Chain A
């Protein structure tokens, strides 16, 4: 942002300089015209013509300098516009980040990364963890997200980046097989890909296939159950979903909205 501001200031200064130059050249043109008139009056015709030509040239140069000043002004406005766009993009990016991560995500994750790495146990020793699939995040569930027999959803505000950093650096508890526990949450590590998936714990919600499907509908249709039920991908389960299915999904939906 500081570079943009510097560029904006520099363009404005150059525009002012160009305008000053145009003013000086224009003044010179007035002086040259005056000199040409005097030379003409005293009969030095050739010199008068040359001075006149120099005045015309000065006028032309003044025009160019003014055009340059106008162009720099225009450039300055564009730089200002870019500055505005960047500022709003940064604000928007910060908002998204707040919805998917806790405000302390970056600092907490980097805090783990900065700690002394401990010996790694289990598959993490040979499979570096990457990230968690979007189908697990409340804010990123879409209608096409696959509904499995068991589905664990990460609620907004859970600092999964910090948890993964802890697993990566050996600061989690290795349970067994491919399972790790950190901050009262259990995660699995996929091999060989390195994907991490939430299993259970604080800030996680476990849903069955129909409950997860209902949640997908509520998220897609802004909490409107009737609209969700009319979506073909949900309508096909109309004989299998019950009011309890929808109540469970609704509770998760409401909790997620409150935490987001």
Chain B
């Protein structure tokens, strides 16, 4: 199953995020679910292609989620390409998790589209919180992030 979960770590309006996703990937707006935390803002039309939702924990303000139907609809884009497209359109930072069980580093995409690997606080992640410890590589759009050694 393809999974395009992108977590916005800065406040973003869900309607704006849905509109950005609709524009970026030519998705009919009614086929994007908007989940406000307790209910859907409106009944989406089947097949649902993507979802935007409020964040599910501290440090996570909003999420874009797409699965197989989104992958088929958008012609199997790279996860990073989707994140860059959305982050630059709403001009907010976003992160997404490792795509392999072997990796632990997340990817941060800044509002200007620059991106790089980051390390999250594992203890806080256990409790559902997104807290960045530092960047493994320089990210021009997030210069204040401390560098952490790659140590590999």
Contact = CB atoms under 8 A, between A and B. Distances in A.
A236 B104 CA distance: 26
A191 B33 contact: no
Interface residues of A, number: 37
Interface residues of B, number: 39
B151 A188 contact: no
A200 B35 CA distance: 33
A94 B38 CA distance: 40
B101 interface: yes
Secondary structure of the B contact surface, majority rule: loop
A177 B136 CA distance: 15
Nearest to B133: A193
A145 B122 CA distance: 11
B119 A188 contact: no
Interface stretch (A58-66, A108-116, A165-173, A203-211): A203-211
Contacts of A190: 104, 119, 122
A195 to B, nearest CB: 4
Contacts of B38: 232
Given A135-B126, A239-B48, A146 B57 contact: yes
A208 B3 contact: yes
A210 B1 contact: yes
Interface stretch (A18-26, A76-84, A85-93, A148-156): A148-156
A133 B101 contact: no
A199 interface: yes
B123 A236 contact: no
Interface in B105-152: 119, 121-123, 125-128, 133, 148-152
Interface of A: 122-123, 126-127, 133-135, 144-146, 148-152, 177-179, 186, 188, 190-193, 195, 197, 199-200, 206, 208-210, 232-233, 236, 239-240
Interface of B: 1, 3, 5, 33, 35, 37-40, 44, 46, 48, 51, 53, 56-57, 67, 97-104, 119, 121-123, 125-128, 133, 148-152
Given A144-B128, A191-B150, 8 more contacts: A149-B3, A149-B5, A149-B99, A188-B104, A190-B119, A190-B122, A192-B151, A208-B3
